Amino acid sequence: MKTLRQSPTAPAFVQNPYPFYDEARADGDFFWWDEYDIACAVSHQAVQTVLRSKQMGRECPPELTPDIPAHQKPFYDIEAHSMLELEPPRHTRLRALVLRAFTSRTIAAMEADITQLCHQLIDRFPTQPFDLLDAYARPVPVVVICRLLGVPEEEADNLLAWSNAMVAMYTAGRTRAQEDAASAAARDFAAFMRGYIAKRRKSPANDLISTLIAAEEAGEKLSEDELITTCILLLNAGHEATVHTLGNGVKTLLEQGVRDISEASIEEILRFDPPLHMFTRWVYEDVSVAGQSFKRGDQIACLLAAANRDPAAYDTPNRFDPARKGPQNTSFGGGIHFCVGAPLARLELRIALRVLLSRCPDLRMTEVPRYADVFHFHGLEKLMVTR
């Protein structure tokens, strides 16, 4: 495979990574990303194959598990129980428990509540130019996931701060200060969740935390650490990607002059400018994918956003087409780690965008939006608009 060099923190790449993806894909299904020292799947077919392969997974092979520096230990103590980082049988058990809260009936029942929340936030929009991320894109998903879990909404600011600090561990070029902040956030987040879980044990409610506690006590053997980590994962994943998708989506819709929000247009928003660009897999046994051979212990990075712009999968892939037809995009991952919250995320996007554009028909950007330097995530620093 061809070796390519591209700093993930270079300003031009941060603002528009898609030309690099096009260059990489032109040389085949895989390339070697020199800065990351990793093989990258870049075509739609290769990414989908890797995501679904049972010969690969998220857990590091035990013989390759690195020593964790002491200052990072609080963060990785939480990650050690995350279903996002686990494989069967632990992953199967944790995912089955969480799916009890993400049934189609549960998600559909949240529609009226999400709609009301969106209207309330828009009622508070200022008349002068304002940042739509702070006023709308951030509060919608964080309040929704708080309500689903049963966590007090007044804790939203703390939850956002802890989540942002922890997620920074996955960004390119992270610093020692960010690592220290992530560990501190992990300790504080875990302490908060432990205290709140204790309250819910005494006074169960109709929420996900109570459901998980009941499942644990019913013999599902969900440990206290697993319960805490699962709640933190759902809070982090339940809003982080949706914030970016809402921001990126509004930017795209305003640039394209699109106002009608259909199911197809939601999928096109997810395909065209997704919030997560890289997701890695470990190779567990020798395997060949698209003519490339990999051995146990190798890592493969799936470049989700590159797969979504593959011309072999989508006609004119760099064009935004709200009526587009084509294969399933890769923005929610695939295989056993397909995003458990995808139905909720789609519902939030559909409602938030429809309400926003219907209530604010003259919404327009007042500044050229810029993306934050947070690869392998992809989201705006701010989105200044006026209504």
Homologous superfamily in CATH for domain 2-386: Cytochrome P450 (1.10.630.10)
For 351-356, what is the mean pLDDT?
98
Q: Higher pLDDT residue, 273 or 102?
A: 273
Cα distances from 283 to residues 43, 54, 55, 301, 307, in angstroms, run 18, 9, 6, 11, 20
What is residue 53's three-state secondary structure? coil
* Predicted confidence (pLDDT) per residue in 144-182, tens digit: 999 988 999 998 889 989 999 999 999 998 999 999 999
Q: How confident is the model at residue 97 (pLDDT cuts 50, 70, 90)?
A: confident
HSE value, Cβ hemisphere, 13 Å, CA-based, for 195: 6
Q: How crowded is residue 334: how many other Cβ atoms within 10 Å of its Cβ?
A: 21
Buried b (16+ CB within 10 A) or exposed e, 346-380: bbbbbbbbbbbbeebeebebeeebebebbbbbbbb
What is residue 274's three-state secondary structure? coil
Q: What residue spans define the domains of the chain? A: 2-386
Asked if residues 98 and 340 have their Cβ atoms less than 8 Å apart, the reply is yes
* Predicted confidence (pLDDT) per residue in 235-261, tens digit: 888 788 999 999 999 999 999 999 999
* Predicted confidence (pLDDT) per residue in 196-223, tens digit: 999 999 999 988 899 888 876 567 778 8
Say what the pTM is: 0.94
